[in-house]
Chain A
């Protein structure tokens, strides 16, 4: 890579995972019967509900815990979670929107160059580890940010945390 190359990079957030609690018991059969865009997973004991706007998928447990995935920003995740809580309220449950927390953000970035993973791992020990038999990417952990980067040889980097 040239030293005077000022190429900036696209960092695209592809997924935001959040959780919240409804502080009430939820009847999954009722949600499956009266809700649209709903899949009832009886074996696992949860209901999957999909919203169109924002495009998120929520996993709902009878204890009142809800996990929302698929949003592309934290604001979207909050709005989607609130819409879901409102839908559950309309279904007749005494829902309270509490303990909202964003637990994971996944972003993707691509470098304009390829990366030699064995050399990268050697020069970044012990933060980096590379096991080609387990996974094709090297993982780089940043402890203070609690983030994990998956570095691929093509230059693609996935950031989670």
Chain B
């Protein structure tokens, strides 16, 4: 092995290091970088056998980031610039992306997933910095597949053990309203609206929707669109605006219409109609979904009182119905003089209840498979009045086809299995032959 010969001729330093390269070793001065001496460029076969091979991965040179990494960082930067995020969010997204990109779960995946990973890192950084943004916005800007984004986001949170606080919808409403193009320059004066007023009215409607179970468990964007439309109608409830449907409103504002938005709008209008009936100056006025926009401002002003009033009135009506039904039941019992009815399972308290029972959910479960059950105390449950405002899937449950009630097998797992029980799962030789013939005929004909 070669030894360095003396100090560096350029600066006189004695800090000489050996720099290993593929084919030629060099002695280099650490202080000034001058090459003090070089090894042989060509070697004999016997010398090569004793040379140490240096792998690229062991070289002291800093590895450059790969193409996917660079593209991902570029994507993050352009997203942050389009959405005008602060430098904090951009930096934390880049750091997170670097960490995630080289994680084994994401390193050898499809390009599509790596593209979505950049968007997911931006989303996580926004959430951690309390910046309101939806996954739909980011996947729309990246032109990414929504399902891929969802999968990558879930995996990212799981693998890197990240904590992301959920986005509050009240923070989202302002940015959502700003995305609606309703300035006087882009649409007729009759349809234009100030976004600050729109956002304020929309956030009040959103709070009302949240209190009446229209928001929990649902996709946020359709609700925000429905609430924005309702707010736009109610700020200037003139005939020309009232005649514009949700779809046309979104066309005017140049915003895509999410599919469930029309259903959310109907639910919101029904809630406003229920509450509007409590306003004294609307007694006798026929409130329907079209006309309720005119009175939305009044309803929102007094929504606290109206909610309490509506629920109290509903409870009183329900209690009266319960009393009437129990009186009629006791009359019929006296006539028949039979044994008293014993109900161990839940039944609906009355057929006249307008909104769905919370009991319905439980009774539908018990009609199916019977697993490990615990005896219900039904009397106490019956006395609870169902709420006027329930999640819509409880108010209007989907008609489910009745499951076959399978008899519970009293087994302990290690019983003897009879041959006769197994024979029904095996074809006889004649059946096998017939099947082969049929298959042969089918293949011939095709």
Residues of A within 8 A of B (CB): 2, 5-14, 33-37, 49, 51-55, 72-79, 82-83, 86-87, 90-91, 107-108, 110, 112-118, 121, 125-126, 129-134, 136-137, 152-156
- B139's nearest neighbour on chain A, judged by CB, is A133
Q: Does B409 contact A (CB under 8 A)?
A: yes
Q: Mark B371-383, 1 if CB is under 8 A from A, else 0.
A: 1111111001100
Within the complex, the shortest CB–CB distance from B121 to chain A, in Å, comes to: 16
- The reply to whether A37 and B425 form a contact with Cβ atoms under 8 Å apart is yes
A-B contact pairs, 8 of them (CB 8 A): A9-B374, A10-B374, A11-B371, A12-B368, A37-B425, A86-B422, A108-B365, A129-B166
- The reply to whether A152 and B217 form a contact with Cβ atoms under 8 Å apart is yes
Known interface pairs A5-B380, A110-B365, A156-B361; A72-B425 also in contact (CB < 8 Å)? no
Q: Does B135 contact A (CB under 8 A)?
A: yes
Q: Does B384 contact A (CB under 8 A)?
A: yes
- The reply to whether B425 and A35 form a contact with Cβ atoms under 8 Å apart is yes
- The reply to whether A14 and B369 form a contact with Cβ atoms under 8 Å apart is yes
Looking at A51, A83, A110, the one whose CB has the most chain B CB atoms below 10 A away is: A110
- The reply to whether A36 and B216 form a contact with Cβ atoms under 8 Å apart is no
- A92's nearest neighbour on chain B, judged by CB, is B426
- A151's nearest neighbour on chain B, judged by CB, is B217
What is the bound-complex CA distance between A34 and B421, given in angstroms?
A: 16
Q: Does B390 contact A (CB under 8 A)?
A: yes
- B425's nearest neighbour on chain A, judged by CB, is A87
Q: Does B393 contact A (CB under 8 A)?
A: yes
- The reply to whether B426 and A130 form a contact with Cβ atoms under 8 Å apart is no
Q: A residues within 8 A CB of B372?
A: 11-13
Pick from B359, B365, B366, B413: contact of A78, CB below 8 A: B413
- A55's nearest neighbour on chain B, judged by CB, is B406
Pick from B376, B391, B423, B426: contact of A114, CB below 8 A: B391
- The reply to whether B432 and A134 form a contact with Cβ atoms under 8 Å apart is no
Within the complex, the shortest CB–CB distance from B232 to chain A, in Å, comes to: 24
- The reply to whether B362 and A10 form a contact with Cβ atoms under 8 Å apart is yes
What is the bound-complex CA distance between A55 and B407, given in angstroms?
A: 11
What is the bound-complex CA distance between A7 and B213, given in angstroms?
A: 24
Within the complex, the shortest CB–CB distance from A96 to chain B, in Å, comes to: 15
9 nearest A-B residue pairs (beta carbon): A78-B413, A13-B371, A136-B217, A153-B217, A12-B371, A75-B413, A153-B216, A8-B374, A87-B425
Question: Inter-chain contact count A-B, CB under 8 Å?
Answer: 164
Give B391-446 interface residues, CB cut-off 8 Å to A: 391, 393-394, 406, 408-409, 411-415, 417, 419, 421-427, 432, 435-436
Known interface pairs A12-B365, A12-B373, A35-B426; A118-B166 also in contact (CB < 8 Å)? yes
Pick from A7, A108, A110, A129: contact of B380, CB below 8 A: A7
Pick from A34, A55, A77, A115: contact of B427, CB below 8 A: A34
What is the bound-complex CA distance between A83 and B409, given in angstroms?
A: 14
Q: B residues within 8 A CB of A34?
A: 426-427, 432
Within the complex, the shortest CB–CB distance from B135 to chain A, in Å, comes to: 5
Further contacts, 5 of them, CB under 8 A, given A36-B425, A36-B426:
A72-B371, A72-B406, A90-B426, A114-B358, A125-B163
Pick from A51, A54, A114, A153: contact of B425, CB below 8 A: A51
Within the complex, the shortest CB–CB distance from A141 to chain B, in Å, comes to: 10
- The reply to whether A7 and B425 form a contact with Cβ atoms under 8 Å apart is no
Q: B residues within 8 A CB of A153?
A: 213, 216-217, 391
Q: B residues within 8 A CB of A137?
A: 217
Q: B residues within 8 A CB of A114?
A: 213, 358, 387, 390-391, 394
